[in-house]
Structure 1
Amino acid sequence: MGIRNPEQYRAGLRDKRTVIYRGERIGDVTEFDEFRPAISHSALAYEIATTHPDLAIADDGQGPYTAFYKLPRTTEDIINRGKLIEAVSRMGAGTIVLKEVGSDALFGLLRALDGPGLENARAFYDHCCRNDIALAVAQSDVKGNRSLPPHKQKDPDLYLRIVNEDKDTITVRGAKVHTSFSANADELIVLPTRAMSAADADWAVSFAIPMDTPGLSLYVSPYLHGERDPFEHPISSQHKLLESLTVFDDVRVPKERVFLNREPETAGPLAIAFVDYHRFTAVSYKLPLLDILVGTAKLMADANGISAAGHVKSKITELVTYAETVRGLAELSALRSQPGGNDIQLPDPLAVNMAKYHFAHGFHAATATLLDLAGGLVVTGPGSDDWADHDTRKVLEKYLAGAVPAEQRMRLLNLIGDICTGTWGGYQSVLATHAEGSLEAEKTQIARSYDPERAVRYVSDLVGI
């Protein structure tokens, strides 16, 4: 077993991976300026072993390893996992860091599979623990015409599929999208994205490969492109995620790394097994972001001198209610956790999907409230160059002071702009709507997880039917 440090993590990224950014091939991703904030952000998943060893390091008698990969066997394990994810997210300014998603996939594989696929997954899990591997997960297919299943698509490559097989390997072709951390992870787990029929057997595939596998290409999104000033952008200047279109151009995968090989009956259960953990990760890593929203609202109201106004108190109370409801449901999902397949504990699907739905449903209203409390200076105020100029700063300090000095007020305004109005705020807005599953997907899981029998029986007894 082993624990790597941040520099060892960075060294592991120096390989022959194919990364395309803004139409150009990137050589050493660790030396590319646009990727530095993202790699430093993800390195927090290794730094936390030093800052929070009680949460981040596990030892089951075989030596220390990252607690992100500790298999949950009890309710306490799920509770501790939530604490770990919240702690690393707090280090990352309320944003997911790196190992959370990969461990969600590992747990899903180990819970949903059986037979040779399970044995391969167990061997890969041991490999990840021994080497403290940084994992990315590719699940979402590009999907083409979403009204059609994989085998009816005009282009069969719009879902990842097996195109060839021999004694030792399978060969896959197609693409996945929304692959977080792909350019700055060591290896990639591929999962099916949906339930499949027998006719979709070629598309029912799951495996793991190193990022520098021949034929694998990562087309990284430039959405968060550009250097950001720390004064104007206190979060996005330091924290960034890399997302990619992940293309498999006849990639050969050794069969010992294959977890699902043309088994359509397992595709849906495996996809859901991953989601059961991934949405718990989602609500755990969102908790610091909710604290940011509440804390910033309170400080901004104080800075503007409006804290005593009744409508302001009401708005901040609404934010507190929103934040604490998500936290309470997240904690409930851990307390109600239950044994799953292969004796692996899973968070309560009903509570965890309610938590994720409540977060997503309320996020845009919460940011609107924050902007309401801040005022128009979020988008009309001066920049860091103005603040750095001695003569200009004297003017700004005189005229932009509120109930607090101008610098304090401006830093709060810049924080609000970063998380609500800029590209980082836009990114967070889309994440709230689509990451870890859409609102409709969460509602579907809530309906599936809720057993109405108790309520129905109670009403039936009341009315005598």
Structure 2
Amino acid sequence: MTRSGQEYLASLRDGREIWLDGERVADVTAHPAFRNTAASLARLYDLAHDSAHTPVLTQGGVHRAFAVPRSHQDLVARREAYKVWAEASFGFLGRTPDCMAGAAAGFAALPQLFRTGGHDGSAAALAYHRRLAEGDLYPVFTLTNPQIDRTRAASEQEEDDLVLRVVAEKDGGIVVRGAKMTGTAAVFGNEVIVGTIEPLPAQDADHAVCFSVPVDTPGLKFVSRTSYEGRARSVFDNPLSSRFDENDALLVADDVFVPWERVLVYRNTDAAFGMWWRTPAYLNFVHQAATRFWTKLEFLTGVAILVTRANNTHDLPPVTQAVGRLLGHVAQAKAFVLAAEASYEEVDGGRGGVAPGRDISYAQRIMAGELYPRALQEIKLLTGGGIIQLPASGQDLLHPEIGPLVRKYIRSPGTPAEERVKLLKLAWDALGSEFASRHEQYERFYHGAPHVYLTQQAWEGGADACEALARTCLDGYGLEGAR
């Protein structure tokens, strides 16, 4: 059964080792750097547990993201659930619990991939999916190696514990040591799955491991980046960063023991890579991410429209055209989601259900990474200098001496100062703040570096069909056409 928001918050008070600004955080649900975002995540659980959205978000008492879709209709139903949660944070919480839940369903759709010569992780993969779904747990992940020397393989780094690897075997499991980076939302999760999503050479077998353990596992440390929530002055002044900063953390494993029943892949470079790319796991990632991206563009475009109305410029032809371009971007993002669903493919001949279409899903990665910064630039041009010349905080509006000045000079026809300041502070938090800069970088690299996803699109994006069509044209005539 699904959990309530309070039950989710209670699950975070488990003694997990989170570090921020040289301080170990005792309770992420109470700490000023994390508590508001934790509350926003708890609201997602409440929406699924008991709200008007429960029928959309759940099926048989389980969140729809955990279900293995069997038809196009199932994909649509899952997307509708994704959309409800995405709208609750206006698209700014990216790695919500439904993200990795979809990947876990992808593992369950093709468990035989986890059977290798040295280790059979199929039971662990199925148990992982079942444990998450039945417990309504928040699964997070860290899959990226630290950026130390990118010219060397993991096993060739200057120290042997820079990239997480297996250092020992025991009767009941393995011991791992090292680090993984960019654990987005990891501090808010219940279980963290650790693996690698990039191809590894054969000599990196010690690093070709994937497992999932509770976030409070002894020896696991999470070193948080700067908290934008912690720096936010108020919800009025920082309406997004104060409530939707999902954070990113460096995971460090200090001789962490992992029981065998939690090891999905062990010392097999093909399986460590294939578990993401040959099961529907990554396609399910994209389905959730693409739905969220579409929602985020809807929100940003809505902010742009509100700003143009507040500036009394909405009906000027150049502004109308700019808004039209933004709405075109929204439709483009929506089209990728619907097209991926409509071009679904069977998994394992249908025995593993269906997954969103591969070529459209992969192409969405290109579109999103390139479109987001362009959309931000277009909206910034519409907002102009207004988002810079703002009072330091909402307190200025309440001050007996400064308040009247702000109300007099920071207003526009039909938009009083308080409403205008509130809107422009929202726009700044979305477009120009440090929080906004993180989101621009996040969307650029959400699906990896461009050289990775562009190359993969060239390999798997239907090049043969394009080439064959062009070849058909060439084969249809010869030199006789020169007469």
What TM-score range do you get, normalising by the shorter chain?
A: over 0.9
Cα deviation digits, residues 119-167 of structure 1 (max 9, x gap): 1111121111221111111111114211222222222223211110122
Deviation at 1:268, TM superposition (A): 1.8
Deviation at 1:391, TM superposition (A): 4.3
Structure 1 residues 262, 451: CA separation in 2 closer, same or farther (over 3 Å shift)?
A: same
Quote the residue 1:418 is aligned against.
429
Structure 1 residues 71, 228: CA separation in 2 closer, same or farther (over 3 Å shift)?
A: farther
Q: Say if 2:140 and 2:183, in contact at 8 Å, map to a contact too.
A: yes
Quote the residue 1:204 is aligned against.
208
Deviation at 1:354, TM superposition (A): 1.9
Quote the residue 1:264 is aligned against.
269
Deviation at 1:454, TM superposition (A): 3.2
Quote the residue 1:435 is aligned against.
446
Structure 2 counterpart of 1:340, one-letter code: V
| 1:379-418 alignment runs, 5 A limit | 379-382=388-391, 383-406=393-416, 407-418=418-429
Which shows bigger deviation, 121-130 or 150-159? 150-159
Cα deviation digits, residues 177-227 of structure 1 (max 9, x gap): 110222121111112232123221111101111111111111111241323
Q: Say if 1:86 and 1:287, in contact at 8 Å, map to a contact too.
A: no
Deviation at 1:449, TM superposition (A): 2.3
Pairing partner for 2:457 from 439, 446, 453: 446
Q: Say if 2:114 and 2:264, in contact at 8 Å, map to a contact too.
A: no
RMSD of Structure 2 on Structure 1 (CA): 1.9
Quote the residue 1:354 is aligned against.
363
Which shows bigger deviation, 198-207 or 235-244? 235-244
Q: How far, CA to CA, are the matches of 1:429 and 1:244 in structure 2?
A: 18
Q: Say if 2:359 and 2:462, in contact at 8 Å, map to a contact too.
A: no
Pairing partner for 2:252 from 233, 247, 272: 247
| 1:214-233 alignment runs, 5 A limit | 214-224=218-228, 225-233=230-238
Pairing partner for 1:296 from 294, 303, 309: 303
Q: How far, CA to CA, are the matches of 1:196 and 1:441 in structure 2?
A: 14
Q: Say if 2:185 and 2:246, in contact at 8 Å, map to a contact too.
A: yes
Structure 1 residues 451, 413: CA separation in 2 closer, same or farther (over 3 Å shift)?
A: same
Which shows bigger deviation, 437-446 or 118-127? 437-446
Structure 1 residues 177, 343: CA separation in 2 closer, same or farther (over 3 Å shift)?
A: same
Deviation at 1:249, TM superposition (A): 0.8
Structure 1 residues 12, 127: CA separation in 2 closer, same or farther (over 3 Å shift)?
A: same
Q: How far, CA to CA, are the matches of 2:469 and 2:136 in structure 1?
A: 51
- Structure 1, unmatched stretches of 5+, are none
Q: Does 1:94 find its partner at 2:98? A: no
Deviation at 1:425, TM superposition (A): 0.9
Percent same amino acid at aligned positions? Answer: 23
Structure 1 residues 365, 379: CA separation in 2 closer, same or farther (over 3 Å shift)?
A: same
Q: Does 1:365 find its partner at 2:374? A: yes
Q: Say if 1:41 and 1:97, in contact at 8 Å, map to a contact too.
A: no
- Structure 2, unmatched stretches of 5+, are 477-483
Deviation at 1:456, TM superposition (A): 2.8
Deviation at 1:97, TM superposition (A): 5.5
Q: Say if 2:67 and 2:105, in contact at 8 Å, map to a contact too.
A: no
Quote the residue 2:471 is aligned against.
460
Could you say what secondary structure the match of 1:232 adopts? Answer: coil
Q: How far, CA to CA, are the matches of 2:411 and 2:70 in structure 1?
A: 54
Q: Say if 1:93 and 1:239, in contact at 8 Å, map to a contact too.
A: no
Deviation at 1:376, TM superposition (A): 0.8
Q: How far, CA to CA, are the matches of 1:67 and 1:455 in structure 2?
A: 36
Structure 1 counterpart of 2:383, one-letter code: A
Deviation at 1:401, TM superposition (A): 2.3
After TM superposition, the score normalised by the length of structure 1 is 0.94
Q: How far, CA to CA, are the matches of 1:293 and 1:30 in structure 2?
A: 29
Q: Does 1:275 find its partner at 2:276? A: no
Quote the residue 1:58 is aligned against.
59
Quote the residue 1:30 is aligned against.
29
Quote the residue 2:480 is aligned against.
none
Quote the residue 1:106 is aligned against.
104
Q: How far, CA to CA, are the matches of 2:407 and 2:183 in structure 1?
A: 44
Could you say what secondary structure the match of 1:156 adopts? Answer: coil
Q: How far, CA to CA, are the matches of 2:373 and 2:41 in structure 1?
A: 26
Pairing partner for 1:146 from 132, 145, 150: 150
Which shows bigger deviation, 413-422 or 393-402? 393-402
Which shows bigger deviation, 393-402 or 118-127? 393-402
Quote the residue 1:188 is aligned against.
192
Q: Say if 1:45 and 1:97, in contact at 8 Å, map to a contact too.
A: no
Number of aligned positions between the proteins: 460
Pairing partner for 2:121 from 113, 117, 121: 117
Which shows bigger deviation, 207-216 or 137-146? 137-146
Could you say what secondary structure the match of 2:140 adopts? Answer: strand
Pairing partner for 2:331 from 324, 333, 340: 324
Pairing partner for 2:322 from 315, 320, 324: 315
Deviation at 1:34, TM superposition (A): 1.5
Quote the residue 2:239 is aligned against.
234
Deviation at 1:333, TM superposition (A): 0.8
Deviation at 1:176, TM superposition (A): 0.8
Q: How far, CA to CA, are the matches of 2:32 and 2:145 in structure 1?
A: 29
Quote the residue 1:43 is aligned against.
42
Runs of 4+ in 1 over 6 A off after TM superposition: none
Structure 2 counterpart of 1:277, one-letter code: N
